[in-house]
Structure formats: structure tokens, C-alpha cells
Homo-oligomer: A and B are copies of this chain.
């Protein structure tokens, strides 16, 4: 049963599933018979420690996280990590790192990292027959002496996705998985550090999940890391070196509980790919919609396209909004249309949008 008439396709703050919203509403005045709001729980109380441990348990099970990885949470979104990762990982500003450029966000990560270390920028996009493709990983020109390799498997602005999993002998791989975390099965052991901001598949904006291999926790032994962002302290103090955003953690916990009830990541991955396939089919079968990414590298979470007549963009956005499909505007850097399909977007919302798009295209092709 649907609880509302609109569907929120935002790339940033995603839909929150109805059962989660309902639970939050229930806990708002009296959480777990404490007679205080869940917003007032003290982070040093047993009640909150339960939320923390339960959250980690859900994550470990859902993602099958190996025992030699720690789960930590950090203030802010992924963009905070663009600085905090090099600050934690370098030993001197003369250290080399490899950064893959595959679109908007990985490029921003590169520019930020350059402030702290030497960056070997590796451009992996190319065009063939008018279609954007990504060089396979064994063609990536990785340095021998780099401390780590950073890449972003899914570019939310460009709609580009790298499905291939890293397999670089002895290289530490760091991945910004903000837009795909928990949306697919992922072999964590291929990575040294995975990070993901919470506002897409894990709840509200303002927090970042990090899954970090034990040997990477204490690399920069100098005294220059801001303490609240020092991975060593975050591990040692169970992500509570300083007062954490308790309410956001609580919502994350509910999101993971909901996700677990969906039947695990292989099931969720299947649904997510079904959702994107429906929409790409509409795009490919129309003369109105254009996506110029080679199918193999198309994102299943962020579908970007333009309309033949750019004057129709505004009309598309206006009509879609009116029909109850919210936040379909492309990122300001590229324009066009963008459909974001995170876990909480139900299949029915996608089917309705597909129908709208089909009808729109028959009217304006």
C-alpha cells in the first residue's frame, strides 16, 4: 500500500521507506519506554550503545564484512573524506597517490587530494562511436609507489558506473561508494577503505560510513590529523570520540533493519537492476530521450539523459513534478534530467515514471 502520491527521485536526500518513517514517528515522544524522545537519547547511555552495536551487526551481516575490517562513522558527507582520507593516509606531502578520474565527483576528490599529496591522475573515460566508455582496470596506469588508489565506482552526476571489481596486487584501493553502498552485493575484501555518505541508502544527510581494513587505521603517525577525524581514534572510541549525531545513527539503524527485511543484498541488487532496466528501455526506444553512455557503463542508480529539444527540459520537469515525480532535474554542472534510484524507491514508482516518460515522448517526439 502506498502512503503517498509522490515519488522522490532526488540524487541527494533520498526517499525514506514508509515503515522507517512510521517507526520514527512512533519513537518521537517516547523511545523504547524511556519516556524521552529518541532525539534526546544520551550517546553514553546503554540505549544508544545498543543502537551502535546493532547498526554494526546489520552492516556486517548485510555486506558480509570480513573480521579484519572495522566499521566507523564520521561527521559530514563523502566530501569531508576527500580531505580526511589523504590526511589520514599520507606520511608526507611528497607521498604519491593514484586517483581515477571517471566523472564529476572523482575529479573533485582529485583536486582536494592535491592539497595534501602528489596525485597521479588517471583519466579512464573515452568515447567510441559517440558513446562514453570506461577503460578496463587492467589498462589503468597505476604507479608502483602510490600509497593508495582512489576511485568512485558510480558517478552520480554523469551517470557512469564501473561494475568491475578492483584486483590490484598489493595496492590499497579506496572507493567512494556513497551512491551504491548496500544497493548490490560487494566483495569488501577487494578494498582497503570503502566510504559512503548516509543520505542515499543509509538514511539522513550528515554522516559517513567507513569500512576500513585493520592495517590502514594508523598510517599517518604524525600529529596533524584533526582528532575528531583521526581513524585511529574513531576506531578506538567506537566512533564516539566526540558527541556523534545520535539521531542520524538511529535512522541508519532503522534503514538497515528495513533493508535486512527486504531479503538481503542479492535480492535488492536484482530489484535495483530491474528498476534501471525499465527506464533505460524507455530511453533507448524513444527518439526524444538521449543517454550517450555505453550500456555496460551505465549507472543503475543514477540515470542521466537529455531531450532532443533542450527547450523541452523545463516542460519535462514541470510536467513530471506535477505528476508527482520529484527532483528529476540534472545536476547544475551538466543540466538535463537525472533519475536517482536508491533502495527505497519502489518498483511501482519506477513503473509509473516509465509510463509518464513514454506518454511524454509520444506527445513531444
Beta-carbon nearest neighbor of A48 in chain B: B13
* Chain A, range 233-252, C-beta contacts under 8 Å to B: 241-248, 251
Residues of B within 8 A of A246 (CB): 13, 204-206
Any chain B CB within 8 A of the CB of A3?
yes
The prevalent SS among residues of A at the interface is loop
Residues of B within 8 A of A211 (CB): none
Beta-carbon nearest neighbor of A6 in chain B: B35
Number of this chain's copies in the complex: 2
A195-237 Cβ-contact flags toward B at 8 Å (1 or 0): 0010100001111000000000000000110111100000000
Beta-carbon nearest neighbor of A329 in chain B: B44
Asked if B80 and A226 make an inter-chain contact with CB atoms under 8 angstroms apart, the answer reads yes
Residues of B within 8 A of A77 (CB): 228, 242-243
Beta-carbon nearest neighbor of A206 in chain B: B245
Given the interface contacts A12-B44, A223-B115, A228-B76, does A204 sit within 8 Å of B21 by beta carbon? no
CB distance from A1 to the nearest CB of B (A): 14
Any chain B CB within 8 A of the CB of A15?
yes
Residues of B within 8 A of A75 (CB): 75-76, 80, 206
Asked if B28 and A40 make an inter-chain contact with CB atoms under 8 angstroms apart, the answer reads no
How many angstroms from the CA of A326 to the CA of B36 in the assembled complex?
A: 9
- Give the size category of A's interface with B: 35 or more
Residue in A12, A30, A34, A245 with the greatest tally of chain B CB atoms within 10 Å: A245
Any chain B CB within 8 A of the CB of A41?
yes
Given the interface contacts A80-B228, A224-B115, does A247 sit within 8 Å of B204 by beta carbon? yes
In-complex Cβ contact of A42 among B4, B6, B13, B25 (8 A): B13
Asked if A245 and B242 make an inter-chain contact with CB atoms under 8 angstroms apart, the answer reads no
Asked if B245 and A245 make an inter-chain contact with CB atoms under 8 angstroms apart, the answer reads yes
Given the interface contacts A206-B245, A243-B197, A246-B205, does A251 sit within 8 Å of B79 by beta carbon? no
Asked if B243 and A245 make an inter-chain contact with CB atoms under 8 angstroms apart, the answer reads no
Asked if A39 and B80 make an inter-chain contact with CB atoms under 8 angstroms apart, the answer reads no
How many angstroms from the CA of A326 to the CA of B33 in the assembled complex?
A: 13
Beta-carbon nearest neighbor of A75 in chain B: B76
How many angstroms from the CA of A205 to the CA of B326 in the assembled complex?
A: 29
Any chain B CB within 8 A of the CB of A84?
yes
Asked if A242 and B40 make an inter-chain contact with CB atoms under 8 angstroms apart, the answer reads no
Any chain B CB within 8 A of the CB of A62?
no
A51-86 Cβ-contact flags toward B at 8 Å (1 or 0): 000000000000000000000000111011011100
Residues of B within 8 A of A207 (CB): 206, 245
Residues of B within 8 A of A244 (CB): 205-206
Give A residues with C-beta under 8 Å from B: 3-6, 8, 10, 12-16, 21, 24-25, 28-30, 34-37, 39-45, 75-77, 79-80, 82-84, 87, 112, 115-116, 197, 199, 204-207, 223-224, 226-229, 241-248, 251, 324, 326-327, 332
Q: 4 smallest A-B Cβ distances: which pairs?
A: A206-B245, A83-B226, A75-B76, A79-B242
Give 13 new A-B contacts, CB below 8 A, not counting A10-B40, A45-B327, A82-B228.
A4-B29, A5-B35, A12-B42, A14-B40, A24-B28, A24-B39, A28-B28, A75-B75, A76-B228, A76-B242, A80-B228, A87-B226, A112-B226
Sample of 26 A–B contacts (CB below 8 Å): A6-B36, A12-B43, A13-B42, A13-B43, A21-B28, A21-B37, A24-B28, A25-B29, A42-B327, A43-B205, A75-B75, A75-B76, A76-B228, A76-B242, A83-B226, A84-B226, A87-B226, A115-B223, A116-B224, A197-B243, A204-B247, A205-B243, A206-B207, A206-B245, A206-B247, A207-B245
